[in-house]
Chain A
């Protein structure tokens, strides 16, 4: 680890008084920050604290409303990502900015200002990329097309993109969200090697233990402001957590399950289904969930989790296998059947799938229930009943919104999730499939959602939780299933599960 005291005099990045506003929210407020050259500096904060916005400012994607930015001591006004790239700032985004049909080499060289020839030399390009990959230990095939790569490999391409342009400042936004624990450790080693090489690494994350593992100094953001900058050596998880949230917090502690389990409610047998490209995504998944238990499905993104949720709830057809709820077999590919049998679904893409974004909360409250005789009389909708139901939901789940007429897209992530969950629960389901329930939510909202899920289980609902966040699964699940390449490769008890072992399974390693 670099000694934080022996830094070069000129900081790599200096932010003074930076403020950025969006409609309805101040994403960054009066941020002062200095990042030293050659260090690994972590930006820690919960979702919505302003970390991504800040990094987007440094990489030229956004322009600050107030304040100034200096790179290596020079004041700069970045008008576009190209400006930032030219000054040696590279970014590895959380949501990759890659062109899927192109090859790795094409993506890496895309837009490179140094080579403006009309007809590029493909072979030479591929050789250069291969050499670069070797130099940094990031193995990837330059000729492969992006859609053929795993998520971890795609991330390597993103990193190589920055290195190819000789980025001296590298910013990574939540890089480990898509990696197994082992892959994450390998990434940390790579980052430290780059820092030792004199590059400056900015590591953005909301995960305490990662930030403690990889960084030299940590800056904590909360509500768009800098709360503190500490040396990692002297930081503790509890201290950081309370800085992040501003109060004492019990993050992810397991609770004893007290309710007894009932019969098997949700049962899937040998599910096989195709993905969006026609390739098999589920290869014989079988599972059972009893009433009152929470079963977690862990795995790295892209191993069939989304397809599993869709297959169980009828949004995706099956090529083989069957799903049953309370003993009744569901019709494959028919969401209405699943809904009718008491299977609720909180999808991973809440805004794109879980609600009709331009419609009101009221409309979304009855998105599935509008056919009920309570809500509609014959072909006509009972407007006042709908309003009432929406108001009840808003009150019961403390949704922060001006009223039931508010458009769904105007709600914050946490409130939107409350609406979705509240709606799903209103149907008194016997089983619940929930995917990535707390993605992008702040700590308060995460606690809320976890409470709601525990309460559902306590009521006897069979809960299947698919999540890429291993911490979340370990906090909630009674049993953990690990998914890899479309099958369940292992099952462990939630209590006392070994993280490393789960990580191995998630990466396709042999189960013990």
Chain B
């Protein structure tokens, strides 16, 4: 039963959807503060590269290396995000062009490849990989076994993170202030909230989570280095945030749906179903378009959707 197609698809959906979820949660936080971050793909790749590097070079037991790798991946993502933050918050540059610049800078033909090359990442597969952490007996349970108990620490952490972000936004004071910064920076500024600080902080956190999402690829899904191994996941994460109407819990659902579509070609191939893989590989991207259209034409009124100040720099003294 645990080998049935449905269960396979579902558990793969979770695996492939996890990097999307991390990146989407990060993007969600940044966008809630009013900063659009299109450089997610680049941040994911750099995080993936640096995380992989730590695992290859750090002497010590597996869990330690993996833990350190995640931390480094997060820091790397945040470092890249700091460039974007500085450009768009302090220098008031166009958020769209800056995000694209980050993607070019850090992406598959840029920094991540530069680092991979200099650090010789491609020479061997990962020394340590995230694997299931719960005992085999639990993993063998019907249905819930593979779906819930056979997942890696990264997946479990992502569930905790989703709940934390949802709680943060809905119930805490800083979450409320964050939403004010995104919706009405003038109002937030007038009551003394530091708009700049909130935007910086959440853009950096967004980058950090993107870095962790990238590490999911290099340390769990494809535990080997390939240039551009994220394959556009960062872009799907951005679309995911729009699709999920900006609340955190829907990000999870959306991530797994998209994850399922990403996993489908490989599963079917393993089943011997011979359809051109490109058709299935195209599905996540096409689905993104369809979903975006549905969301845009639907009645997405302002208070259900994007923070009002998304994309705009905030200048206090601008007349």
B173 pairs with A117, CB closer than 8 A: yes
Cα(A62)–Cα(B319), bound, Å: 11
A62 pairs with B317, CB closer than 8 A: yes
Nearest opposing residue in chain B for A25, CB measure: B319
A81 pairs with B187, CB closer than 8 A: no
Annotate B284-314 by CB proximity to A: 1 below 8 A, 0 otherwise. Answer: 0000000000000001011100001000000
Nearest opposing residue in chain A for B181, CB measure: A99
User: Is A350's beta carbon under 8 Å from chain B?
Assistant: no
Q: Which residue of B173, B180, B183, B190 is within 8 Å of A81 (Cβ)?
A: B190
CB-CB under 8 A from A116, the residues of chain B are: 173
A residues 102-149 touching B (CB-CB < 8 Å): 102, 106-107, 110-113, 115-120, 145, 147
CB-CB under 8 A from A86, the residues of chain B are: 192
CB-CB under 8 A from B184, the residues of chain A are: 97-100
Main SS class of interface, A: loop
Nearest opposing residue in chain B for A145, CB measure: B303
A101 pairs with B303, CB closer than 8 A: yes
B173 pairs with A119, CB closer than 8 A: yes
A81 pairs with B191, CB closer than 8 A: yes
What's the nearest-Cβ distance from chain A to residue B296, in Å? 15
CB-CB under 8 A from A113, the residues of chain B are: 192
Cα(A9)–Cα(B42), bound, Å: 64
CB-CB under 8 A from A277, the residues of chain B are: 301-302
User: Is B188's beta carbon under 8 Å from chain A?
Assistant: yes
What's the nearest-Cβ distance from chain A to residue B15, in Å? 34
Nearest opposing residue in chain A for B187, CB measure: A97
CB-CB under 8 A from A401, the residues of chain B are: none
B residues 162-184 touching A (CB-CB < 8 Å): 171-174, 176-177, 179-180, 183-184
User: Is A91's beta carbon under 8 Å from chain B?
Assistant: yes
User: Is B101's beta carbon under 8 Å from chain A?
Assistant: no
B180 pairs with A99, CB closer than 8 A: yes
Cα(A430)–Cα(B171), bound, Å: 57
Cα(A100)–Cα(B309), bound, Å: 12
User: Is B221's beta carbon under 8 Å from chain A?
Assistant: no
User: Is A450's beta carbon under 8 Å from chain B?
Assistant: no
CB-CB under 8 A from A117, the residues of chain B are: 173
Cα(A277)–Cα(B316), bound, Å: 28
User: Is A278's beta carbon under 8 Å from chain B?
Assistant: yes
B173 pairs with A97, CB closer than 8 A: no
With A110-B176, A277-B301 known as contacts, the answer to whether A100 contacts B183 (CB < 8 A) is yes
A residues 46-71 touching B (CB-CB < 8 Å): 61-62
What's the nearest-Cβ distance from chain B to residue A245, in Å? 23
B183 pairs with A99, CB closer than 8 A: yes
Cα(A116)–Cα(B173), bound, Å: 7
CB-CB under 8 A from A439, the residues of chain B are: none
User: Is A2's beta carbon under 8 Å from chain B?
Assistant: no
Main SS class of interface, B: helix
Interface residues on B, range: 20 to 34
Cα(A110)–Cα(B195), bound, Å: 13
Cα(A106)–Cα(B317), bound, Å: 26
Which of B183, B190, B191: most chain A Cβ within 10 A?
A: B190
With A22-B319, A116-B173 known as contacts, the answer to whether A278 contacts B299 (CB < 8 A) is yes
User: Is A161's beta carbon under 8 Å from chain B?
Assistant: yes
A110 pairs with B317, CB closer than 8 A: no
Q: How many residues of A contact B (CB 8 A)?
A: 34
CB-CB under 8 A from B189, the residues of chain A are: 61, 80-81, 97
Q: Which residue of B177, B301, B317, B319 is within 8 Å of A111 (Cβ)?
A: B177
A80 pairs with B192, CB closer than 8 A: yes
User: Is A159's beta carbon under 8 Å from chain B?
Assistant: no
What's the nearest-Cβ distance from chain A to residue B171, in Å? 6
Cα(A99)–Cα(B189), bound, Å: 11
CB-CB under 8 A from A119, the residues of chain B are: 171-173
User: Is B115's beta carbon under 8 Å from chain A?
Assistant: no
With A61-B316, A118-B172 known as contacts, the answer to whether A100 contacts B192 (CB < 8 A) is no
CB-CB under 8 A from A85, the residues of chain B are: 191-192
Cα(A145)–Cα(B179), bound, Å: 14
With A110-B188, A113-B192, A119-B173 known as contacts, the answer to whether A102 contacts B302 (CB < 8 A) is no
Q: Which residue of A22, A93, A102, A118 is within 8 Å of B173 (Cβ)?
A: A118
User: Is A492's beta carbon under 8 Å from chain B?
Assistant: no
What's the nearest-Cβ distance from chain B to residue A105, in Å? 11
Cα(A421)–Cα(B186), bound, Å: 32
A110 pairs with B303, CB closer than 8 A: no
Cα(A111)–Cα(B186), bound, Å: 13
What's the nearest-Cβ distance from chain A to residue B179, in Å? 8
CB-CB under 8 A from B172, the residues of chain A are: 118-120
User: Is B193's beta carbon under 8 Å from chain A?
Assistant: yes
CB-CB under 8 A from B176, the residues of chain A are: 102, 106, 110, 120
B183 pairs with A111, CB closer than 8 A: no
User: Is A82's beta carbon under 8 Å from chain B?
Assistant: yes
Which of B171, B184, B317, B319: most chain A Cβ within 10 A?
A: B184
Cα(A110)–Cα(B176), bound, Å: 8
B186 pairs with A97, CB closer than 8 A: yes
CB-CB under 8 A from B193, the residues of chain A are: 82, 110-111
Cα(A81)–Cα(B299), bound, Å: 36
A101 pairs with B302, CB closer than 8 A: yes
B187 pairs with A110, CB closer than 8 A: yes
Cα(A91)–Cα(B302), bound, Å: 27
A91 pairs with B190, CB closer than 8 A: yes
Cα(A83)–Cα(B319), bound, Å: 22
Cα(A107)–Cα(B187), bound, Å: 9
What's the nearest-Cβ distance from chain A to residue B180, in Å? 5
What's the nearest-Cβ distance from chain B to residue A6, in Å? 34
Which B residues are closer than 8 A to A by beta carbons? 171-174, 176-177, 179-180, 183-184, 186-193, 299, 301-303, 308, 316-317, 319
Q: Would you give 22 A-B contacts (Cβ < 8 Å), ordered by A?
A: A61-B189, A61-B317, A81-B190, A82-B191, A82-B193, A86-B192, A91-B190, A97-B190, A98-B184, A98-B187, A99-B179, A99-B183, A99-B188, A100-B303, A106-B176, A110-B187, A110-B193, A111-B180, A111-B188, A111-B191, A111-B192, A120-B176
**A-B contact sample (16 more), CB < 8 A, given A99-B183, A119-B173:** A61-B190, A80-B189, A81-B190, A82-B193, A97-B184, A97-B186, A99-B179, A99-B180, A99-B184, A100-B183, A110-B187, A111-B191, A113-B192, A120-B172, A147-B303, A277-B302
